[in-house]
Amino acid sequence: MIISMRLHASREEVDAVCERIQESGYKVHTIQGEERVVIGAVGVGDVTQCLESLQVMPGVENAVRISAPYKFVSREFQPARSKIRVNGVELGGDRFVVMAGPCSVESEKQIMETAEAIASAGGNVLRGGAFKPRTSPYDFQGMELEGLKLLRKAKEAIGLPIITEVMSDGDIGMVAEYADILQIGARNMQNFALLKSLGRCGRPILLKRGMSSTIKELLMSAEYIVAHGNPNVILCERGIRTFETATRNTCDISAIPVLNELTHLPVVLDPSHAAGKRSLVPPLARAGVAIGADGLIIEVHPCPEKAVSDGAQSLTIPQFRAMMQDLRPLVELWNASRAAQAVAIA
Amino acid sequence: MIISMRLHASREEVDAVCERIQESGYKVHTIQGEERVVIGAVGVGDVTQCLESLQVMPGVENAVRISAPYKFVSREFQPARSKIRVNGVELGGDRFVVMAGPCSVESEKQIMETAEAIASAGGNVLRGGAFKPRTSPYDFQGMELEGLKLLRKAKEAIGLPIITEVMSDGDIGMVAEYADILQIGARNMQNFALLKSLGRCGRPILLKRGMSSTIKELLMSAEYIVAHGNPNVILCERGIRTFETATRNTCDISAIPVLNELTHLPVVLDPSHAAGKRSLVPPLARAGVAIGADGLIIEVHPCPEKAVSDGAQSLTIPQFRAMMQDLRPLVELWNASRAAQAVAIA
Amino acid sequence: MIISMRLHASREEVDAVCERIQESGYKVHTIQGEERVVIGAVGVGDVTQCLESLQVMPGVENAVRISAPYKFVSREFQPARSKIRVNGVELGGDRFVVMAGPCSVESEKQIMETAEAIASAGGNVLRGGAFKPRTSPYDFQGMELEGLKLLRKAKEAIGLPIITEVMSDGDIGMVAEYADILQIGARNMQNFALLKSLGRCGRPILLKRGMSSTIKELLMSAEYIVAHGNPNVILCERGIRTFETATRNTCDISAIPVLNELTHLPVVLDPSHAAGKRSLVPPLARAGVAIGADGLIIEVHPCPEKAVSDGAQSLTIPQFRAMMQDLRPLVELWNASRAAQAVAIA
Amino acid sequence: MIISMRLHASREEVDAVCERIQESGYKVHTIQGEERVVIGAVGVGDVTQCLESLQVMPGVENAVRISAPYKFVSREFQPARSKIRVNGVELGGDRFVVMAGPCSVESEKQIMETAEAIASAGGNVLRGGAFKPRTSPYDFQGMELEGLKLLRKAKEAIGLPIITEVMSDGDIGMVAEYADILQIGARNMQNFALLKSLGRCGRPILLKRGMSSTIKELLMSAEYIVAHGNPNVILCERGIRTFETATRNTCDISAIPVLNELTHLPVVLDPSHAAGKRSLVPPLARAGVAIGADGLIIEVHPCPEKAVSDGAQSLTIPQFRAMMQDLRPLVELWNASRAAQAVAIA
């Protein structure tokens, strides 16, 4: 921690601050500047609590933390990229990954038809919601257990691993029985009770960034899961909330290279929720591959006009096929670049 | 719903839209404008789903909902202000209410000392957290059950009703046994599993606005609780997330009169979280009374420098006393104005 | 400046940073922490440039400025509140000030009728736009010189001093001939060419906060004007841009106490632009008085339904009168509190 | 315009609204819904003013505009992409364009060395600031006329056309004498006096999006320039202001496909200002090419550690070369795709 004192802080104020720092287990290091005193706290102590109390002590201008607040998820802790394997698919590895499927599981016909189309177009994982977080209590809330069973059926028939959302710690056991990857929605990114339970669950987790969460907070939520025992976390940028209304959310595409600098965890992009509008999904998907995401998660529906949710941002099956075709040369560049990196490291 | 077609939408596109609207149960009403066709959907139907699919049909420029998405919480449904009574205190009534106490319950001595000070300064409800949502898994997570027991002890000794946070639907039963009002934190405002369970709980709920939630979303979350059976919801503005960094959050003070126009539910202001800094709490509290909030919720700690959480924004006991004194003439104006309104209505 | 090095920064990287700091005229002070090296730069030097280059030197985690970037406008430079006198009205003094009038000057009849109503209701300054910044090139752009002449006529007849907007440095001379206070709109807060010219102008300036400017940037823009020779700057909070759409802007009411801590300049609130909706203006005005603003600036129009601009947020004359009546007890509390402060200082 | 009335609006309120609409020159079209009346205004009239006054008439819930507020810049007005030619370079054409150079012109040596490096690496236009908008009055404000002369010298020696910023309408004549493209900075996007003057200037304009401006506002500012006589406007996404602090701004990459749908004007990406950090520039540049921008504008400096401004986000010359190499396959895909589109149209 670095504490800068006000311009005319008194001797007593400086002393009180030093004392408070020492109480928290740190050593004190004082710099007497031209205009003001700056104090460094060196060592290991109870940083959050100490910081907060310093911020309001008399004579203190400002107190900031220097060390990163997360550990296990940081590149400093583990420099090499994490690879998360699930049923023959590897996230963070040397092949770009595409997850796709409908927002909600609606019927056997719908999920089967979509799964088949996704597999045949080159998709790697099937997404589909059985538990749906909806802003309105009057909107469709998902098929729940029945939806999970349809997902399993699709998996057995088509062979794609399944990703689906879990919204409550009470449901983790049931969902984990059917799903290969558990998805945590943006609104639950700081549902700490849920995060702790996920730490004790054996499945990989795809953690979506909250719509007004900072990158640092996303990493802290991942740290919750890892610190409670589950190292298999995939991060997902899905757009943040800003003043712009031309898109449903603002796709913070820079989050991908920023995360690649800060963490070893895989990062995927969800262009469907970021844009909220079908026609913007393919260009955003191209940007996601080019900027170095590890994969995409895309909403696809055999008949978006009839979808019970997210119809506006779902691709039709022919549109998904066209997008996969369009992405091919970019994905080849991506694969070649990862292969080159692997050689460089080896 | 109103659907505006693009400038050169074809006859077929207009017809397809009309057909889709009718499928959802609405009657169609077409306006042929100078430049484009606008279509009104009249009646009752499945609005969310229909709206989403219309938004991406060929030839559609824009499709918007006209009716409010919430019902029970609206002023149109219930014009008269809701009054929520809890242990002799009334929210939304004719007396201004002050809830205060520490961020976290830390010890018997701490909570007793604070409770006594709050009561003697004129506070009406004791707040204190036993379950704490913390950004970092390494920070203090609350005393849990033991904290609830200390709150009950303080209530028995001092007589103030208790408000405390619940973070998980699994804990509602236990927390409701000890608390008079259950508080839902900003990060859980769209934890829909939790909201549904709160609908089945007999206690009044204080629902904090999510840090990037719109006023409409706050009302939708309140609608969840009410629609699931619990009409006793108190709304709380606690600051939203913006680009400004001089304060922890940006206090959206306008939310109070906006909510007073839209809903009959009581609205309180939390200046402590909005500001994040002790010195700003008393001026924001004054603004909250003057603008017509039904009450305040304030963090107070006997020794903020030693607080395990939120020390920077907690008032000391003497500061709380000074603030209550400072607020007195404003609260008298508030009480007089509510009394006058009551007479005017009668 | 404080520079924190990365976890495993090399000896050479630390040395290069120290050298760069010394080149900019600072002395170096190194703290060897448990995990990393932190370096303090002490003295006087070219801070902006040095900071930027340090931020990207190898091994640097983070480099932050400690001293405030503004000087003349800070409380540290001048602890006592600035009082700005203009034609018998004092801003920052012991009487609360209300400026009011139409968004645009539209006709002699309109401005005369409004001026009279404002004066008789207790308003202190007449506002009215002759040069209008409009988002669309097709909207009314103001009466320009003719509008200024009508403002002077109103001043001569009614006696209220005039505040009006200037949008271009070429117009300052002309506008300053007619106006007592020059208003700088939110969109011009960082029009640096304009700010420099205002420094050489003899009139007080009301500087509106940009709609996405931080409080620090507002102070930097005020510093521009003061550093170029004009100390008479009044700051104005008028709402910031956020994700919330229920109001035209989000009134950052906390900016008022924050500015009162940081600067000696007077601060006024513009509830009309903050809210964008007539019914919210009186409650926001109450909050502005209660929180300690030095004054208000309010849009009033004899017939808002016919206004060429900002009709939706303009009060009618009877509404303005009612608001002034409603504010009276709050303004009396305000005046008493300022009088008490004056005694306390004397 | 579409006006929706409140639930229980009276007959008189509906009539008054209809009358007001007719006064503005529109025909009225009423829809009697299940719950409320909705009114369409058909024809041509004074939309902004009418809309504002309707919004506050008694009984009105909501009044929205249907037609786009801009005309000349819209795809509906001109479906084919605009191509802007300047000294052998074409923006919006069939070759991807890279503009690059230092933030500020600092010396002959600096600008010559950079220009040469940019040309040899395949850059197409030289950027360099002679007039600098700086947040602080104490920071370097640019070499002004002397800087312009150095830019011309570089142009004569190396052959690249020049883009440089103009900050004040008084300077347009002088800057236009030296520059091939005039750049308008984010802080001046709504400097309407400047925009009008640019309409009368013979040079192409690169208009940067304001840091909290919506895409619609950007198009309205472009409309100002075009409506005042200058059709050669290039739009530039350079990041918007959000709550995220890991990057200097948030790169709103979706703005590029959104603009490509709405306007025929060329759109370029400025990854340097969007990111604010050198290491993020190459990945963002890749995303910009992949998503379909017409070009990039990049900050490059021979010695960023010594740059007087924006050192942190400037690439070194070797980094720029490496980036150009890295972009090559993506640019080839881009060029091929544009060529294919040209064939498809022909």
* Interface size, chain A vs chain C, as Cβ–Cβ contacts under 8 Å: 60
pLDDT > 70? residue D345: no
Mean pLDDT value of segment B113-121: 98
Residue B294 vs residue B63, higher pLDDT:
B294
CB contact under 8 A, A38 and C66: yes
pLDDT over 70 (residue D233)? yes
- Test A4 with C7 for CB contact under 8 angstroms: no
Contact (CB<8Å) C61/A64: no
**Chain B touching partners, 3 or more CB pairs below 8 A:** A, C, D
Q: Which residues pair with D267 in a beta bridge?
A: D235
Average the pLDDT over B57-79 and give the result. 87
Q: What angle do CA D238, D241, D242 make, to 5 degrees?
A: 130
pLDDT of amino acid B319? 97
More reliable by pLDDT, A159 or C44: A159
**What is the pLDDT, as a whole number, of residue D326?**
97
Max Cα-Cα span within chain A: 76
Buried b (16+ CB within 10 A) or exposed e, D114-153: bbbbbbebebbbbbbbbbbbbbbbbbbbbbeeebbebbee
Is the pLDDT reported for residue C342 higher than 80? no
Choice among B288-297, C58-67, C183-192, D203-212 with the minimum mean pLDDT:
C58-67
Per-residue model confidence (pLDDT) at position C345: 64
Task: Confirm or reject contact between A230 and chain B (CB < 8 A).
Answer: no
> How many other β-carbons are positioned within 10 Å of the β-carbon of residue A228?
15
Mean of the per-residue pLDDT values of chain C: 93
> What number is the ipTM of this complex?
0.92
pLDDT in tens, A25-49: 888 888 887 778 888 888 777 788 8
A62 CB neighbours in chain C (<8 A) are 66
Q: How do residues C240-269 score in pLDDT, each as one tens digit?
A: 999 999 999 999 999 999 999 999 999 999
Query: What band does C198 get if pLDDT is binned at 50, 70 and 90?
Result: very high
Q: What is the mean pLDDT of residues B100-104?
A: 96
Per-residue pLDDT of B198-242, as tens digits, reads: 999 989 999 999 999 999 999 999 999 999 999 999 999 999 999
Which amino acid appears at position D79 of this protein? P
Tell me whether C28 touches chain A (CB under 8 Å): no
- Please give the span between the terminal C-alpha atoms of chain D, in angstroms, as a whole number: 38
* Residues of A in Cβ contact (< 8 Å) with B192: 133-134, 141, 167, 187
Could you tell me which of C295, C253, C255, C248 has the C-alpha nearest to residue C273?
A: C248
The whole-angstrom distance between D286's CA and the closest CA on chain A is 6
Check residue B3 and give its pLDDT. Answer: 87
pLDDT tens digit sequence for D64-102: 887 778 999 999 899 999 999 999 999 999 999 999 999
Nearest chain C residue to D246 by CA distance is C62
CA triplet D119, D120, D125: central angle to 5 degrees? 15
How confident is the model at residue D148, as a pLDDT?
A: 97
Query: Which residue shows structure tokens 């400017």?
Result: C213
> Which H/E stretch holds residue A321?
helix A317-345
C67 touches chain A (CB under 8 A): yes
Instruction: Give which of B66, B67, B252 to mutate to test D binding, by max D Cβ within 10 Å.
Output: B66
Query: CB-based contact (8 Å) between C257 and chain B?
Result: yes
Binned at pLDDT 50, 70 and 90, residue D346 comes out as low
Distance CA A21, CA A18 (A): 5
Which B positions 262-291 lie with beta carbon below 8 A of chain A?
277-278
Q: Are strands B84-86 and B89-91 parallel, antiparallel or unpaired?
A: antiparallel
- pLDDT for residue B251 is more than 70: yes
- pLDDT recorded at residue B62: 81
Taking residues B172-198, report their average pLDDT. Answer: 96
- Highest average pLDDT, of A17-31, B126-140, C30-44, C176-190, comes from C176-190
What are the chain C neighbours of B214 within 8 Å (beta carbons)?
Answer: 243-246
Question: CA-CA distance, D171 to D169, in Å (whole number)?
Answer: 5
User: In a structure prediction context, what are the per-residue pLDDT tens digits for chain A, which is 346 residues long?
Assistant: 888 888 888 999 999 999 989 988 888 888 887 778 888 888 777 788 888 888 888 888 888 887 778 999 999 899 999 999 999 999 999 999 999 999 999 999 999 999 999 999 999 999 999 999 988 888 888 999 999 999 999 999 999 999 999 999 999 999 999 999 999 999 999 999 999 999 999 899 999 999 999 999 999 999 999 999 999 999 999 999 999 999 999 999 999 999 999 999 999 999 999 999 999 999 999 999 999 999 999 999 999 888 888 888 999 999 999 999 999 999 999 999 998 887 776 6
Q: CA nearest A165: which of B192, B306, D202?
A: B192
What beta strand segments (E) does C58-201 contain? Answer: 60-64, 84-86, 89-91, 97-101, 125-127, 162-165, 181-184
Beta strand ranges found along chain C (DSSP E):
2-5, 27-32, 37-42, 60-64, 84-86, 89-91, 97-101, 125-127, 162-165, 181-184, 205-208, 233-237, 267-269, 295-299
Q: If we measure between CA atoms, which residue out of D168, D166, D97, D146 comes closest to residue D126?
A: D97
* C30 lies within 8 A of chain A by CB: no
Identify all chain B residues contacting A246, using CB atoms and an 8 Å cutoff.
Answer: none
* Inter-chain touch D245–A275, beta carbons under 8 Å: no
- Give the per-residue pLDDT at A275: 95
Q: Which of A38, A213, A245, A248 to mutate to test the interface with C (most CBs of C within 10 A)?
A: A38
Check CB contact of C67 with chain D, cutoff 8 Å: no
Q: Which residues in chain C are contacts of D223 at CB distance < 8 A?
A: 136-137
CB contact (8 A) between residue C214 and residue B244: yes
Cross-chain Cβ contact B38/D67 below 8 Å: no
Cβ of C79 under 8 Å from any chain A Cβ?
Answer: no
Decide: A263 and B234 in contact? Cβ < 8 Å. Answer: no
Report the distance separating Cα A304 and Cα B57, nearest Å. 9
Tell me, yes or no, if the pTM score tops 0.90: yes
User: Pick from D56, D194, D227: which is nearest to C304 by CB?
Assistant: D56
Higher pLDDT, B43 or D272: D272
Q: Using a CB-CB distance cutoff of 8 angstroms, which residues of chain A are in contact with residue B196?
A: 137
Distance, in angstroms, between C159 CA and closest chain D CA? 30
- Contact check, Cβ <8 Å, D42/B64: no
The pLDDT of residue C340 is: 87
C273 within 8 A of C313, measured Cβ to Cβ? yes
Shortest CB distance from A258 goes to which of D246, D289, D290? D246
Are the beta carbons of A8 and C33 separated by less than 8 Å? no
Cβ distance A40 to C34 less than 8 Å, yes or no, reads: no
Chains touching chain A at 3 or more Cβ pairs under 8 angstroms?
B, C, D
Contact B66 D33 (CB under 8 A): yes
Distance from CA of C254 to the nearest CA of D (A): 17
Q: What is the pLDDT of residue B156?
A: 97
Residues of A in contact with C29 (CB under 8 A): 31
Partners for D (CB, 8 Å, 3+ pairs)? A, B, C
CB A247 within 8 A of CB A222: no
Chain C interface includes A42 (CB < 8 A)? yes
- Does D46 have pLDDT greater than 80? no
- CB–CB contact B256 C286 (8 Å): no
Q: Average pLDDT for residues D26-34, to the nearest whole number?
A: 83
- For C295-336, write each residue's pLDDT tens digit: 999 999 999 888 888 888 999 999 999 999 999 999 999 999
Residue B6: φ, ψ to 5°: -65, 165
Q: How many CB atoms lie within 10 A of CB D344?
A: 7
